[in-house]
Structure 1
Amino acid sequence: MLNVEFTGAQVLGADALEPRPLAVAQGLITDVAQTTRVDLDGYMIVPGIVDVHGDGFERHLAPRRGAMKTMHEGLVAAEAELAANGITTAVLAQFISWEGGLRGYEFAEQVFGAIQKVSDTLVTDLRGQLRLETHLLDLYADLPQRMQDWGLSYVVFNDHLPHDRLAKGQVPKRMVGQALKAGRNPDDHLRMMQDLHAQSADVPGALDWLCKVLAARGIQMGSHDDTTAEGRALWRKRGVRVAEFPETQEAAEAAAAAGDHVVLGSPNVVRGGSHNGNVSALDLISMGIGGALASDYHYPSPRRAAFMLADRGVLPLAQAWHLVSAGPAAVLGLSDRGVIATGKRADLLVLDAQTRRVALTMSGGRVSYMSGEIAARFLR
C-alpha cells in the first residue's frame, strides 16, 4: 500500500472540485500529512467507480466460442480492463439460465469458484452477482446453500423466456442458433423452453418461498427489467429492494417512490437512450429517478456517463459522480467507500484534467492501474 500525499490536483469533494492536498495511508484516506509527496498538477482526483452490475468480463473468460481461457487468467485480464476504466469495486453479474453455455449452471459454478480463489490476489475488489432465471424451479431448494458456498450476497431475478410466442405454440426467434450455441439439439432446447413456460403458474409461490429464505440470510435481492408498477410492488413485497434497469417510466417511478434502489445502465446514458427501445436513463435521471449507474456490458461507460451528465448540465459533477461511486456503494451496503473523506477506503481515480483519461486507479490504497506521464511523477 502507498503512504503518500497528493498535491496540486483538483479533488472532488461533496459539492465540487477543489484544489487541496489528499493524503493516503494504510489503505485509507487520512488527514495526517505524509512525508512522501507526489505533485499531480494537471490532474483531478475523484472517488473510485463502484460498478454494481457488469457482464463485460465474459469476453475475457471466453473470447471465442470453444476457446475458453482458464478462469484465473480470464479474471486477471478482466481486472486489467476494470482498473483501466477507473473501477475499484466490481460486481461480476453471472447468469444461471435455461439458455445454457456461458449462462449455464456449470459455467456459473466455475466463475464463482474462480472469484473466490483469485480475488485475494487481485487489487480490484471483485464480487459475484447471481442472475437467476425465475423458471428454474428445480434449483430453488439448494440455491440458498449454493450461494453460501459460492460466497455470494447478491441475487437478481430475470425472466427471459419468450412467453408470448411459447403461449401461441410458435417457435421463438433465434431459437436454433441459441440451442446450437449452448450445445443442444434444437428440438430438445425448444421442448425445455416449453416445459419451463408450462410451469409459470408455480413460479410466484416458489419465489415467495425462496425470497423469504434469502432475505433471512441477509442476501441483497434485485429484479431485472421491471415493466409495471404492480410487478415492482410484488417484488418489493418479497423483500426485493433493487430495481435493475426498469424498462418503463412507470416501473422506475414506482420503485423510486417506494424508496427502492433504482439501478440504470451507463451505456443507456452515453447512447442517449436504450438500445432496445426501453425508457431513457437520461430522461429518468433528469426526473430525479435513479441512484446508481452500472456498466452493464461496457466498462468505460460509467466514467463517460458521469461526465456527460455534468457537461450537459443535467447534474453538477459531484452529483453525477455520486451515481457511479457512492450511489452504487449504497446499493451494496458498502459505507466505507464511494466518497473522498477521512477514514474511507483509499479507492481513488486520477484523471487527466484536460482529456479525462484514466491516469491512475487505486483500490484500498494499492495501485491497480497507472499509465503515461503520471508514472514519472512517482519517480521524482
Structure 2
Amino acid sequence: MTGALALTLTGAEVLLPGGLDHVPLSLAGGRIVADPQPRRVDLTGFRVLPGIVDVHGDGFERHLAPRRGAMRDLGQGLASAEAELAANGITTAVLAQFWSWEGGMRGPDFARRLLEVLAAHRGLGTDLRAQLRVETHLLADYPAIADTVARYAIGYVVFNDHLPHAALSAGKRPPRLTGQALKSGRSPDEHLRLMQQLHDQSAQVPTALNDLSAQLQAMGAILGSHDDATAEARRDWRGRGAAVSEFPETRIAAEAARAGGDRIVLGAPNVVRGGSHSGNVSASDLVAHGLCDALASDYHYPAPRQAALMLADTLGLPAAWDLVAAGPARLLGLADRGALLPGLRADLVVMDHTGHVGATIAGGRITHMSGSVAARFIASV
C-alpha cells in the first residue's frame, strides 16, 4: 500500500480485546502484523486504541458550506472535513447525506454532487463512505434513489420522515416554514404546497417502501430507520428488513429493537451533553441498560471519543471503546477493522491519558499527527 507505514510501536498501553496491555504493535502494508518491524517508535506514556468507526455523521456539512451559498468547491470542503475527522481519531467515517424534499444541502441534486466528489476524493487515507438518508414520502424519487444506490455502491440507507404531519392534517402552517423554504430555494407557499402534496399520499407509502426496501436489500445495502418512537414503528421497519434503529427517541423503541435482534445506534453528543437536546431518551441510560451497539458523531466529530472516555468510568475502557470501534464495524459488516489484531487494517489512534489525540493512522497511513507524538516519530527516523 502506497504511503503505508512499516514500524513497531513500543512502550504504549495497547487496547486489545481483553483490555489494556503493554505490548508492541507492528504495522506493515496497511495491516497490523505479528512480525516485528525494524523501525521502532517509543510511545511510552501514551495509549494506542483502535481507530474510531463513525457510523453516522453530518458534521461534514459545515465544511462544505460554512455559510449559505458557499458551496463552490465541494472537494476542498471534503478535505477539510477529513482533517477534522482525523484530528478526532476517526479512521472510518460514514457521511450521512439526505435525499429529501427539504432541498438545499438536503436535496437530491446536492446528494448527487456530493457522491460524485466523494467517489473521486483521494485524501489523507480516512475511509470515507456515504449513507443515504431517504425521506419516505418522496415516492416519485424511488427509482432515482435505487439507481443512485446502485451507481455509487452505497452500502447503508436509512429512512426518515420529517414531514410535519400533525400540522398538515390540521391545515395549519408548520412552524419555521419561512426559514426552511429559504433554505430550499422555494417560496413559503411553494414549500407548503409540496409538503401538503407529499403528506396527502401517505396511504401509498407503506407498500412503496416495502418494494424499495426489497430492491435495496437485493443490492446488498444495510437498511435502517431514524428516530423510532414506538415499538410498533420498529416492528414495521424490521418487517421491511431495516434492522438498524438509529437514534430511537424512546426507551420503548430501543427495547423493541433489542428484543427483535436489531442494531441500535445512539448519538455520542447525547452522552456528552448528559441528555438529548430535543428532550428524547438519554443515550447514557440506554447504554447502561445494554441498549446500544454503536455511538455515532451525529453532528459533532469529537463526540465519539469524548463519549467513550466518559463511559469508560462505568463500563470500563474495552466495553466503552467497543461502542465507537468494533461495534460500529460489526454493524457495517466491516470485519477487517475495529480491533488491534494481526491481519486487520492498521486503523488506530494514539492518545495521552487526558484523551488528547496525538496521532491517527488509517490503513497504515498517517492522517493526523501533532505535538510530542510527532516528535517521537521524527526521532525514530
TM-score (norm 1): 0.98
Residue equivalent to 1:255: 257
**CA contact 1:60–1:69 (8 Å) conserved in 2:** no
Higher mean alpha-carbon deviation, 98-107 vs 141-150, is at: 141-150
Alignment size in residue pairs: 376
Residue equivalent to 1:71: 74
Residue equivalent to 2:296: 294
- Counterpart amino acid of 2:163? L
Is there any run of 5+ residues in structure 2 with no aligned partner, and where? Answer: none
Residue equivalent to 2:135: 133
Residue equivalent to 1:36: 39
Report how far residue 143 of structure 1 moved.
2.1
- Counterpart amino acid of 2:350? V
**Where do residues 202-217 of structure 1 align in structure 2 (5 Å cutoff)?**
202-217=204-219
Matched, 1:177 2:179: yes
The 2-side partners of 1:68 and 1:145 are apart by 25
- Counterpart amino acid of 1:369? H
Residue equivalent to 1:335: 335
Paired-residue identity, %: 60
Residue equivalent to 2:374: 375
Is there any run of 5+ residues in structure 1 with no aligned partner, and where? Answer: none
Report how far residue 259 of structure 1 moved.
1.0
**CA contact 1:347–1:365 (8 Å) conserved in 2:** yes
**Where do residues 92-107 of structure 1 align in structure 2 (5 Å cutoff)?**
92-107=95-110
Deviation string, structure 1 residues 272-293 (Cα, Å, up to 9, x no partner):
1111010111000111111100
**CA contact 1:116–1:151 (8 Å) conserved in 2:** no
The 1-side partners of 2:104 and 2:343 are apart by 44
Report how far residue 151 of structure 1 moved.
2.7
What secondary structure does 1:93 align onto?
strand
The 2-side partners of 1:127 and 1:87 are apart by 12
Report how far residue 342 of structure 1 moved.
1.0
**Where do residues 134-173 of structure 1 align in structure 2 (5 Å cutoff)?**
134-173=136-175
4+ long deviations beyond 2 Å: none
Matched, 1:22 2:25: yes
Report how far residue 69 of structure 1 moved.
4.0
The 1-side partners of 2:358 and 2:92 are apart by 17
What secondary structure does 1:140 align onto?
helix
- Counterpart amino acid of 2:368? Y
Matched, 1:244 2:246: yes
The 2-side partners of 1:197 and 1:258 are apart by 30
The 1-side partners of 2:148 and 2:30 are apart by 32
What secondary structure does 2:197 align onto?
helix
Report how far residue 104 of structure 1 moved.
0.7
Residue equivalent to 2:92: 89
Report how far residue 15 of structure 1 moved.
2.5
Deviation string, structure 1 residues 139-165 (Cα, Å, up to 9, x no partner):
112322221112311110000000001
Deviation string, structure 1 residues 94-117 (Cα, Å, up to 9, x no partner):
001111011011111001111101
The 2-side partners of 1:20 and 1:148 are apart by 43
The 2-side partners of 1:13 and 1:143 are apart by 40
The 2-side partners of 1:17 and 1:261 are apart by 27
**CA contact 1:274–1:280 (8 Å) conserved in 2:** yes
Aligned CA RMSD, in angstroms, stands at: 0.9
